[in-house]
Amino acid sequence: MMSKRIFAVLTLLVLLFVLAACQLAIENAGPENARLIGVFVSTEYIDLFGDMAFENVPMRRGQPDFSALFQPQRLYAEWDVNFSFPGIEGMAFFNAMSPPVEGVFPDGVMTGHSSAGISGNRNNVYFGDNYTRVEKDGTVYITPGSHTVVYVNPVFQTACGRVFLEPGSGFSVRHNEAEGSIFSQTITETTTITESGVENTHSMSVTINVASMFPPEKIVVVQMDAASEIVSRIELAPEEVPSTLYAKDNTEYVIVETHRATSHNPVTRELINRGENGVAVFLARDDGIIIRNWMGIEW
């Protein structure tokens, strides 16, 4: 018997589409009045189809309802200070209402979830008399030629507060050898609820951009004094960059050099003046994703 898992594989092959840009509109978020709240980005397909076989296909109007083979289950998140999806790895990019906190936040509080692998995050929220609109935009950077597949899985929250994801579409970027933009996927949803004769509309739009970036080979941190003399100079592997740099007493500004594995623009530099908080630094993971870390500076 052909199992439902085979159908999942066939579906996966279809989902590895090649587009410069695509837009997915979700018309119905489910029977529980669930709203789209963002996405969960993974580098592996999240298989939630189970093992339904042909002999278990439900009947509808006297005929086998084969569409049931393609109805994925939901993967619900767990709450422990933050929402997380058990048993899978990936990058969160969504806004969700937390569970109520007695005496502090009786209705919960809006929490933003954004992993280090999603950079340049834009999170705009607009309020009107009878509407809210949320626009989120982030970028996933990958190493050129890294054979990476990026899956964008929509995340929802039910009216009772439960957060879940459903499997999304994937994009293979293994043949990209240059640096720059690769593709963009946008998921949108608009829901309208009528309360006491008044319509209230909630719209959500979340965009994930995928771009390639040559990975850093080393990071050079140079501390300079007011006379532009070198106070300190250190070379670090990307994984050795500290979360906090403690500046010397006479340091006036810091130059951070990123040396990259490319002949085109191999060194980039950022200048951080005294009093500024810090600088973003990047690190390539084994799966080809380049994560954005933050090196704070204590003056």
pLDDT at site 56: 53
Shared-domain flag, residues 54 and 145: yes
Shared-domain flag, residues 66 and 174: yes
Domain edge (last residue) among 169, 196, 212: 212
Closest by CA position to 152, among listed 133, 162, 138, 163: 138
Shared-domain flag, residues 47 and 171: yes
Compute the distance between CA of residue 214 and CA of residue 146 in angstroms, rounded to an integer. Answer: 11
| DSSP assignment string, 157-198 | E-TTS-EEE---EEEE-TT--SSEEEEEEEEEEEEEEEETTE
3-state secondary structure of 148: coil
Shared-domain flag, residues 189 and 237: no
Shared-domain flag, residues 136 and 265: no
Mean pLDDT of the 199-210 span: 93
> Per the structure, how many domains does the chain have?
2
pLDDT at 108 over 60: yes
Shared-domain flag, residues 59 and 39: yes
Helices then strands, counting H and E runs in the chain, come out as 1, 23
Shared-domain flag, residues 197 and 232: no
Give the tens place of pLDDT for each residue, 79-105.
Answer: 988 899 988 999 999 999 888 877 777
Find all residues with CB under 8 Å of 61, minimum gap 6, and list them: none
Shared-domain flag, residues 41 and 164: yes
**Do residues 214 and 186 lie in contact, with contact meaning Cβ atoms separated by under 8 Å?**
no
Shared-domain flag, residues 246 and 258: yes
Shared-domain flag, residues 118 and 205: yes
Domain edge (last residue) among 212, 228, 254: 212
Shared-domain flag, residues 155 and 139: yes
Q: Rounded to two decimals, what is the model's pTM?
A: 0.77
Q: Domain residues for 230?
A: 216-298
Domain edge (last residue) among 212, 246, 278: 212
Please tell me which residue, 257 or 14, carries the higher pLDDT value. Answer: 257
Please name the helix (run of DSSP H) or strand (run of DSSP E) that holds residue 14, with its range, or none: helix 4-15
Please tell me which residue, 217 or 12, carries the higher pLDDT value. Answer: 217
pLDDT band at 8 (very low <50, low <70, confident <90, very high): very low
pLDDT at site 62: 65
Give the tens place of pLDDT for each residue, 44-76.
Answer: 999 876 554 444 555 666 666 555 555 557 899
Shared-domain flag, residues 83 and 109: yes
Compute the distance between CA of residue 151 and CA of residue 192 in angstroms, rounded to an integer. Answer: 28
pLDDT at site 61: 64
